[in-house]
Structures are given as C-alpha cells and as structure tokens.
Chains A and B, each alone.
Chain A
Amino acid sequence: MTKQMNEKELITIEHIEPIVSEDTDYNFYFGPAHSGSGNFGVKLRIDGEKVTSARADPGYLHRGFEKLMEYRVPMQNAVLSDRVCILEALNWNLVHAEAVDELTGVEIPQRARYIRVLMAELSRLQSHLIWYGALSLGLGFDTGFKMAFGYRDYILDIFELITGGRVYPAGYICPGGVRRDLPDGSENKIKRVLDQTEEMMQKMKDFDNIVFSRRTKGVGTLRTEDAIRLGATGPVLRACGVETDVRKDDPYEIYDELDFDIPVREEGDAYARCLIREREMEESIKIIKQVLDRIPQGNIREPAKITPPSRVKIPEGEVYVRNELARGEGCAYMRSVGEGEPYRVKIRGPDFLHMIPVLEHLLKGSQIADIPAIYWSLNICPADMDR
C-alpha cells in the first residue's frame, strides 16, 4: 500500500517537471530562498511571461509544534503559541488560552477578558500594517513599505510596555487570564498610538495613486463559488461578497458586547482585498477605543500564582475553538486525558488553505508581474501553514 502510494507520488511529481522540456516552457522556482516570497516555495512553469502551472511546495518552516506541545504544560505551551505565527502572536496566544480555559472550566476575570481583546485587536492592527508593507515591497513601492514598518514600530512600543517584548509577547495571553497588568499611563499611550495609526491610514489612502491601483485592480479575481469550495476565510472570503466573521457568528471573549461592522466587497480581486483590510483597521481602532472606555478593575489571572508543572492537571475532555485572526479563521483542537500535558493539539491556520489550493488556483494563467500582487494580497504567512 505504501509502495503504491509512493509510486503514485513519483508519477505526479514527474508530471509537473517533465524531463523532455519544450522550447519555451521553463521551471521557475519562486522559492523559499527568494527575496519576494517569504519562507515559502512555489514551483512555477513559465511560458514567456505567463504562468502555465503552479505547485505549492510547503514544509520549509515545519517545526513540529503539535508534537512539541504534547510534552509541555499549558503555561509553557502559551509561550510556544506565539511562534505559531509570529506576525500575529497575541492572536494565537488567545486561541491556545481559550482552548485550555474551556478544558479546565475556569472563570476568567472580566478585566482579563477586556485586556485580551485589547491586545488581540492591537495585534490585528500591526499585522495589517505588515501586510501593507509587504504588499508595497512586492509591488516596488518603496515608500509604502518603509512607512508601514515605521508606524508599526509605535504599536510595538506599546507591546514592549505591556508585555515586556516587542515582537514575542511570550504567552502574554495565558490560560487563566493574562500574565501582567497594564502599567500606569498605558491608556494614554495607547490612545496616542491610535492617533498615529490613523495618520498612517490616511497616508495609505493618499498613496493609492494610479500606479498602485493599476497593478492590483482586476488581478487575482476569486469567484465566490471557488472561494467557498477551496476553503478561503477571513478577508479573502469577505472580498468575494460573503459576509462572515467569527467575531459575529460565534462570539468569543467580550465581542458580543462591542459594536463594530464587517466590511464586505463584491469584486473579489486584489484591490478589493486591500480595501477590506484598510476598513478592518478602522474597525479595530473603534473596538480598541470602546474597550479602553469600558475596562473594569479587578484580577488579571485565575489562579493568581503559576502552578508548578509537576502539579498541573488538565481535566479530561476535548475542545475545538475558533477565532478570527487577521488572516482568516484560526482554530485549535485540544484533547486531554487528565495529565498535565495535552494529549493532542491540532492547530488549524487560515493559511493552509490560502497558500495551497487558493494560491495555485489564482496563479495559474497569470503573468509573472502579477505574482507579487496576488501573493501578498492574500496575506499569507507560511508559519501557520507549516507549524
């Protein structure tokens, strides 16, 4: 059975790269060690400037998270969970913390829930700024890249103040609540950073000039049926006209008490995805302002002290949590048999489906010059695909 499967795989690979090559077709590795692709490889066959076939080549960033988590207690796993996708570390912290909290059944203090939502939305903001910078870099628009990362730095200053680290919050959102309380004066600093982010969003609108829109309009159009069939979620799906968001459909934390809109567009091309993400940034700022107004006093973690690993026990059970990350729908399945370490953790990132079926579908038939626009408009992160 295994031998037959291997032979079948061999035949499939040979089909993609024939030994007898035609004159004009050639292989083009938009590969892992490429300045334009992040940590992910795509094998393309090119004819002139047109892509005739695309095959995603995942696995470059596989680090074995699901296995690593089986040997560590939940508090240690919280530190690991930032690295599932470092571009939105606090959101993945939240997914993991919610999974453990549902298994242990502990009641999270209200203040901790508000702080969790605050940090998750800040993380969404900086993730969208990274997306804008990477898209500008891919399109050759140097100014957008430099400014986006410059303004993102102000948000990282807030993370440094609250969590103690700029990019790696080290499991700040942990099972039971959050690890530390907000320092004094952080509210004013957060409001100042929100003003600066609004400056950047205004610049994003000003930079939407003729060359930028010509390279993204009509490029990488995804039809609604294809989007649903191939499993797109998040902004990619919302750009095709489907109004869906886990924060509204299946609310977690305190999202059911907050007031925000969900941007939806009909066209399904790269430009629509860009506009949706810009609107999402506005909505995130709205949410953060509401949270800052309503945050109550109280505890920040239940239990207040960290239990030593040898005495930790997670009650038996299995749970599946869904969250809305910046890139789409991120979920975790956790099963415990009563020990301190989880028996099985399965992480479902939004990018597994965006990077393999959706990307291959969109790249086929496009031009080389459209590859960065399509690639970066999907806002993919190889880390949560490969885990």
Chain B
Amino acid sequence: MVVTSGTALGAVIGTIGLAFFALFCGLLYKGFDRKIAAHMQSRIGPPIIQPFLDVSKFMIKDSVQPERALTWLYNAAPIISLASVITVLLYLPFGGLTFTPILSGYGDLILVVYLLILPALAMVAGGFASSSPFATVGAQRKMVTMMSYEFPLAVVAIAIAWKLNQLYPGESVFGLAFIYSHPLWGHVGPAGIIGMLLLLFSIFVVTPGQLATVPFDIDEASPEIAEGLTAEYSGRNFALFYLADAAKMVAVGTLTVALFFPYDLSPFIGISGPVGSFIDFVFFLLKLFLVTTLTVTLTRVAVARLKISQVPTIYWGATTAIALVGLILVVVPN
C-alpha cells in the first residue's frame, strides 16, 4: 500500500515509524504476557501498561558502571542489540502484506536467521565486558544456548523453502514476501500436515530459547546467578536491553507467523481496498498475540527452568530429530 522501499525519504520515515510501532507492540504484548500469566497463577497481576511504566522509569535513572568494565563495549552492547533487532524487522513482513518490508529486495530468510543472532551476541559481549563473575557465567550460558537453537531453526527454514521450491520452481523461495504470500498447508498431503505440525512444534521449542524465557532463561537465572548477563546493567543501558527484548519478541513472532500462518482475512470475508488491508493488519496482530501467548506465556507458567547441561541435549537431540522427521515428511511425498 504505502510505498516504502521506493524513495530514500520514504525508507527513513518507514523505518522510524516501524521502529516505534514495533516497540509499542512489543511492550504491549509483554504487558499482556504478565497479565495472563498472573491470572493463570490465580492473582490479579500488574496493569497492562506496566512495561511502559518500567521503561520510562529505567530511562530516567543513571547508568552505574562497574569499575573494571570495558567501557566502550559495555555501553555499546545495548545500542547494538536494539539496533540489530530493528534492522531485522525491516526485512520481515510485519503487518502481513499490508506494507511491503522496507528492505524486501535486499535480503531473505537466510539473512534474517543470521541477523537474529546479533542481539544475543551483543548481550553476550556486554556480559563479558561487565567483568563480574555472575555476568561471565551468564554470558557463557547464553553462548551455549545460542549455539544450540540455531540448528533446529535452520532445519525448519530449509524445510519450508525446499517445499516451496518443489511447488514453484524458479521463484526466489527464500524471499520473505514470497513466503508470506504462499501458505503451504493446503499444498501438502496428510503426511505433510503431520510434518508441518512437527516443524511448528520445533519452532515452539526454539522460541523460548531465542527470547530467553523459562525454560531456557538460564542465562539470567536469578536464584542461581543473580540476573546473570544483565547483572551489572542499570538505568538507560538496561532500558535499551529491555526494549531490544520486547522488539525481539515481535521479530521472532513475526517470523513464525510468516512461516506457518501467512493467511489474510480479507479474501474470506470479501472486503478489499483500504478497509480490507486494515482488517488484515489487525488480524496479523491477533495472530502475533496468539503465537506469543502460546510460546512465551503458557510455557513460562507451566514449567521450571532447565539446567545448562540439558539445553544442548534437548536442542541437538530431541528438537532436531523432530524437525528432521518433519522435514522428511513435508518434502518427500511427491
């Protein structure tokens, strides 16, 4: 609808608009997550706008620096983290196909999967630069988690792209706009449906690892290592990490929706034009909300935290096996 990738000015305005809207959505979804989790635990919980209040409070406080920290890296890590997440969002079809991604012709699924490493890597660098034993242990654990979840994520991405290549040979199957406009559920047989469900399950196990929520929030396990990675961060730096976390929730959720639920509502109810696009946009936000609630909130409330030695076993063992079986079931029949 709105031409964003055409002119440079349009790109800049689009980026700023997307950044603010995505952060707003991320914080709002964090608020919903806390409220729903609270009701599941039989309490009332904080108001839905609580993350906004938290971020405003952190922003106005001083950042205290540890004496022996590596200053430039310690201060740069939160900025790199937030900037890289916003950059990832520029490639993703946020809002469905209402807005073409700003950088849509310049990068594809493989680039997105790689770029999603950057925020976590920046946090690890910040943790090591903090020169505190808690942060060091947290950073080591986060590196192990990162290395573990990349494998099943890559298998899922390849499975989707391979099937799309089989169905539409010659197209650029890794392009995200292409993936979003060609849902796979209707084009695979019954074995393929089971395969897609297995791939969906793998993504649901990978997402808490990417977002560092229970059961994979070992890097900031407060009863063991007192907030771990972000133990030495406070004030504005911490606010930037918090915002990066909120935006990452939106980015990872968008990726899952794009790969597995790229449906639009307007063709079903027969409305088109601007009203249809608006309905699609709202429908996208609803899908994002459901994905986030299932992967983050329900998991966080239902299980305990895993040990770091169990994480590679779960990801490289069970999850990769499930993803590979899913890949075979999706790709092989016809």
Residues of A within 8 A of B (CB): 26-28, 34-36, 49, 136-144, 146-147, 150, 209-212, 214-215, 367-372
B306 contacts which chain A residues (CB < 8 A)? 211, 214-215
Closest to B43 in A: A146
B37 contacts which chain A residues (CB < 8 A)? 142
The 8 closest A-B pairs by CB, nearest first: A140-B305, A36-B223, A141-B304, A369-B307, A139-B304, A211-B303, A146-B41, A138-B223
B308 contacts which chain A residues (CB < 8 A)? 49, 369
Q: Indicate whether B334 reaches chain A with its CB closer than 8 angstroms.
A: no
Q: Indicate whether B309 reaches chain A with its CB closer than 8 angstroms.
A: yes
Interface string of B285-312 (1 = CB under 8 A from A): 0000000000000001111111111100
How far is B227's CA from A26's CA once the two chains are assembled, in angstroms? Answer: 19
Please determine whether B43 and A140 come into contact, CB atoms closer than 8 angstroms: no
Q: What are 28 A-B contacts defined by CB distance under 8 Å?
A: A26-B133, A28-B137, A35-B222, A35-B227, A49-B309, A136-B304, A137-B223, A138-B223, A138-B224, A139-B304, A139-B305, A140-B217, A140-B223, A141-B305, A143-B40, A143-B301, A144-B304, A150-B41, A150-B42, A209-B303, A212-B303, A212-B304, A214-B310, A215-B304, A215-B305, A367-B309, A369-B307, A369-B309
Given contacts A28-B133, A49-B309, contact A371 B304 (CB under 8 A): no
B217 contacts which chain A residues (CB < 8 A)? 140
Q: Indicate whether B124 reaches chain A with its CB closer than 8 angstroms.
A: no
Closest to A368 in B: B224
Q: Indicate whether B226 reaches chain A with its CB closer than 8 angstroms.
A: yes
A211 contacts which chain B residues (CB < 8 A)? 215, 303-306
Q: Indicate whether B221 reaches chain A with its CB closer than 8 angstroms.
A: yes
**Partner among A35, A140, A143, A369 whose Cβ is within 8 Å of the Cβ of B215:** A140
Given contacts A34-B226, A36-B223, contact A367 B43 (CB under 8 A): no
Given contacts A35-B226, A140-B223, A209-B302, contact A370 B307 (CB under 8 A): yes
Given contacts A147-B41, A150-B43, A371-B224, contact A142 B300 (CB under 8 A): yes
Closest to A134 in B: B223
A367 contacts which chain B residues (CB < 8 A)? 307, 309
A137 contacts which chain B residues (CB < 8 A)? 223
Residues of B within 8 A of A (CB): 37, 40-43, 133, 137, 214-215, 217-218, 221-227, 300-310
B41 contacts which chain A residues (CB < 8 A)? 142-143, 146-147, 150
Closest to A214 in B: B310
How far is B41's CA from A367's CA once the two chains are assembled, in angstroms? Answer: 30
The smallest C-beta distance from B193 to any residue of chain A, in angstroms, reads 26
Please determine whether B226 and A36 come into contact, CB atoms closer than 8 angstroms: yes
The smallest C-beta distance from A68 to any residue of chain B, in angstroms, reads 32
The smallest C-beta distance from B224 to any residue of chain A, in angstroms, reads 6
Please determine whether A36 and B304 come into contact, CB atoms closer than 8 angstroms: no
The smallest C-beta distance from B211 to any residue of chain A, in angstroms, reads 15
Please determine whether A141 and B303 come into contact, CB atoms closer than 8 angstroms: yes
Please determine whether B301 and A369 come into contact, CB atoms closer than 8 angstroms: no
B40 contacts which chain A residues (CB < 8 A)? 143
Given contacts A143-B41, A146-B41, contact A369 B304 (CB under 8 A): no
How far is B305's CA from A368's CA once the two chains are assembled, in angstroms? Answer: 13
Closest to A31 in B: B226
Please determine whether B309 and A35 come into contact, CB atoms closer than 8 angstroms: no
How far is B254's CA from A106's CA once the two chains are assembled, in angstroms? Answer: 75
Closest to B38 in A: A146
Given contacts A211-B215, A372-B223, contact A140 B304 (CB under 8 A): yes
A36 contacts which chain B residues (CB < 8 A)? 222-224, 226
How far is B133's CA from A27's CA once the two chains are assembled, in angstroms? Answer: 8
Please determine whether B224 and A369 come into contact, CB atoms closer than 8 angstroms: yes
B222 contacts which chain A residues (CB < 8 A)? 35-36
